[in-house]
Amino acid sequence: MVSMVMPVKWAAIKSRSPKENWKSQLVSMYSGSIEAIFAVESEDDGAVQVVKELQEELAHLEGVTIKVAVAGPATTCSQKIANILAALRAVSPESRYIFCMDANCKLHPGTVHLMMNELENDASVFVATGYPFDMPPENASIWAWTMAQFRYNCLSEFLSNRSTFVWGGAMVLRRADVEQNMYGLLDWWRKGGYSDDMQVQACAQDAGRMIATPLSAIFPNELKKDVTFDYCWGFLRRQNWVLFTYSSWKNWARHMTLLFLYAVPNASWLPAFLLSLASLAEAPLRPARLTEPAVAIHLAACVGFLITFHAAIAAIANMCNHLSPEAQRLSLAQFTPFCLGSSLLMQSALAPAVTIANLLNTSMEWGNIRYECRWGRVVEVQHPHSSPVRVSQSLT
């Protein structure tokens, strides 16, 4: 039996079709029993009504149970972690695995079985994880493409079936490991935890345990069409801000390395492109400029990268179509060189700005809740229309 733990905040979901994604997570080829526990902050959350609709629509499925857990306002950690902890308290005692996931991925029919196998067959694996394949719809805004571009950068972790990366939208843990608080995971979550997946990743890496990343655990997710700059900026800031949270000095060193790679080498695309444009603009006056090795090599590298990039995207889409043959086939009509190239440059331009903004601001707002961070931990939580709550006071 596997328990699907689904922390939900309806207003924060960025997927275009969360209900369809949830259906794909519950209608599976997995032969064991499945219980889905949707955890919300309050019963007023818009997701509750959608979950009730799912309970009615999927009532005919044998071996599938759908529950709702209410966490209440978080005071010692992020609201997502508080929702996860509430769901864990509702897990059936017969369950052997905890499958944490969110609304931003559409599972393939064989995904649950695939992820279980990683943990069943390799005792050194602490967690198995997947990742979303974000697809902006046709005529989507440049900001939707910029968000997707950030995700594409992270897909480099799926070059092998073992990596150093965990995504909280699809991660599987052994229930016994969680309940026994292995490596202090529950304590790290409860006491000032902000990012559920980065903490699982830290526990695995600090303990020398494996992180399984099955190569076919990549899930299509259609983004909303009308993403604004503010929404994109908030998304990038939140993704970057988790690197300022940590639980050990080893964890801090890894995060600072990732922060440097994101803010410096990743930011080189835009200046390199502008230099190339300057060289092309100079060509009518100095035709020999185009034959200079540095200019020719860079232009060839840019063109070659875009061709390779598009081929990789096509390979992922083709794999998803084969893994979910009954689903609507993924189309790549919108993946033009202009969309891929412009979003790459936009993501590159925003990377240093996002990093500087987070260096100058120790607080983050997610789902209308403000979190204050010190020395890698959340120290204060403020919900809308209420005074800030110190984590140390709540724990005592």
> 2-225: what CATH class?
alpha beta
Residue 390 backbone phi and psi in degrees, to 5: -75, 130
Mean pLDDT within 306-327? 90
- Whether the full predicted model's pTM is greater than 0.75, yes or no, is yes
180-183, Cβ contacts within 8 angstroms, sequence gap of 24 or more: 182/126, 183/207
Q: Which residue has the higher pLDDT, 178 or 392?
A: 178
273 pLDDT tier (thresholds 50, 70, 90): confident
Which is nearest to 241 in space by CA: 78, 386, 8, 101?
Answer: 78
| Cβ pair 132, 104 in contact under 8 A | yes
For the segment 218-235, the average pLDDT, to the nearest whole number, is 92
Reported as a single tens digit per residue, the pLDDT across 32-83 is 899 999 999 999 999 999 999 999 998 888 888 999 999 999 999 999 999 9
pLDDT for 284 equals: 67
Torsion of CA 350, 16, 35, 33, to 10 degrees: -100
Q: Per the structure block, which two tokens stand in for 8? A: 């939900």
pLDDT surpassing 70 at residue 237: yes
Mean pLDDT of 270-289: 74
Higher-confidence residue of 79 and 270: namely 79
Residue 189 binned pLDDT confidence (cut-offs 50, 70, 90): very high
Domain ranges for the chain, please list them.
2-225
The overall average pLDDT reported for the chain is 90
- 155: Cβ contacts below 8 Å, ≥ 6 apart: 131, 133, 218, 316
In this prediction, residue 17 has a pLDDT band, given cuts at 50, 70 and 90, of confident
